[in-house]
Amino acid sequence: MLFNCKAVFLDRDGVLNSSNVREGKPYAPTCIEDFSLLPGVAEAVKALHENGYMTIVVTNQPDLTTGKVSADTVEAFHECLRAAMPIDDIIICPHLNEDNCSCRKPKPGMILQAAQKYRIDLTKSIVVGDRWRDIDAADAAGCVSYFIEYGYDEPLKQKPNFIVKDLAEAVHMILTEN
C-alpha cells in the first residue's frame, strides 16, 4: 500500500484554542463560553491546507471520562473548529493515563490511526503541540515536531525538532522549509 499524503497533526488545546492555565499547568476548556480560537490559527490552518497538507487534530480529552465535560460540549468545540478552518479530521482519546491505551499521547495511536485511514506518509508529516506528550507522540510516530513554548511548569522529556511561539510561526517555518 502506497502512503503518499502528508499531514500536519495539530493538538487542540493550546495550539488551536486557548487553554486555561492555572499554577503553570494548562487545562482544556469545559464549557463553550470558555472556548476561543487563538489569534491567527484559522489562517495558518488554511495555509497548510492550500499547500497540500492534510490537517488533522489529535487531542487527549480525559475530561470526557471524568465527566468534567460532556460529549455534546466537545462536539460543539469541534464544530467551532470546523466552521473556522479546513480540518480534515478530529481524532480524540477520551482515556485516562491509567487506562494505558494505545491512543493517549504520548503514545502515537491517534497519529497511526490517521496514517492508516488516509494513507499518510509519516516521514513527510509534522506534529504541532504545546506539551511534552505531543513531542513524544511525534517522535514515536516518526514525524517532525514543532513545540509551542508557553513556559508551562512542565518539562519536556525529549527535544523537539523546532520551538516556536505559536501556530502561525510553525506554519511559516513549515511552508518555508518545504
Which residues are the active-site residues? 11, 13
Site of grid cell 511525534: 138
Find out whether 99 and 60 touch, Cβ atoms under 8 Å. Answer: no
Q: What is the largest CA-CA distance in the chain?
A: 47
CB atoms under 10 Å from CB of 9, counted, come to: 33
At position 109, the amino acid (one-letter code) is G
Site of grid cell 512542565: 154
Cβ neighbours of residue 76 closer than 8 Å, sequence gap 6 or more:
32, 35
Give the Cα separation of 177 and 57 in Å (integer).
22
HSE-up (13 A, CA, CB side) for residue 132: 10
Looking at residue 38, the DSSP 8-state letter turns out to be: P
Query: What does each C-alpha distance from 57 to 24, 45, 88, 128 come to in angstroms?
Result: 24, 11, 8, 10
